[in-house]
Structure 1
Amino acid sequence: MFVVIFRATVRQLDDHYSAMAARMRELALSEFGCLGFHAVTEGQQEVALSYWPDEAAIRAWKNHPEHLLAQQHGRQRWYTSYSVEVAEVSRRYQGGEAAA
């Protein structure tokens, strides 16, 4: 399993951003094999974690036309800067009812 860590400094988020973010989450989960997608914004910082079965799924997602458009809007409208990290999960464990 792989995790994509997206970090951004927010310029300005608008209603179009909210709709686009919801669509990107739906698309990743329903059509590209994304195993989980979590995002949080605190102040001017946004962090999104998405989990993937393999790097091929990540590449397919990265190059999808709707996602390319979202990336363009992010660079031009919503973020002043961003970074993306891709890491392989080498160990995973959980406990308690909330983790299930």
Structure 2
Amino acid sequence: MFAVIFKATVGQQDKHYSDTVAVMRDLAFNHYNCIDFVAVSEGDKEIAISYWHSEADIQAWHQDSKHAVAQKLGQDKWYRAYTVEVVEIKRQYSFDNQ
């Protein structure tokens, strides 16, 4: 399993940003086999982590034309800076007290 860690300093985010995020999330799950996606913001910082079965799925997602448009909007409008890290998960364990 792989994870994509997106860390950003946000710029001006508007309704178009929110709408685009929803479309991108749907696209990732329904067309590129995304397993899970979690995003949080604090102040001007944002971090999003998505989980994937394979690096090939991540590469296909990255090359999607709609995703490319969203990335360009992010660079031009919604983010001041960002970093993307693709990592392979070597081990996973959890606890659930429910």
Give the alignment's TM-score, normalised by structure 1: 0.95
Distance in 2, matches of 1:51 and 1:68, equals 19
Q: Following TM superposition, by how much is the alpha carbon of 1:97 offset from its aligned partner in structure 2, in angstroms?
A: 4.5
Aligned to 1:36: 36
How far has the Cα of 1:60 moved from its partner?
0.2
Residue 12 of structure 1 pairs with residue 12 of structure 2:
yes
Correspondence for 1:78: 78
The alignment yields a C-alpha RMSD, in angstroms, of 0.9
* Identity level (%): 48
Q: Does 1:59 align with 2:59?
A: yes
Aligned residue pair count: 98
| Structure 1: segments with no counterpart, 5+ residues | none
Q: Which residue of 2 aligns with 1:25?
A: 25
Runs of 4+ in 1 over 6 A off after TM superposition: none
Q: CA deviation at 1:94?
A: 1.1
What TM-score comes out, normalization by structure 2 length? Answer: 0.97
Q: Deviations over 1:45-97 (max 9, x none)?
A: 01000001111000000000100000000000000100000000000011114
* Cα 1:54/1:77, change in 2 over 3 Å: same
Equivalent position amino acid for 2:63 in 1: N
Q: Distance in 1 between matches of 2:84 and 2:71?
A: 12
In 1, Cα distance between the equivalents of 2:38 and 2:97?
19
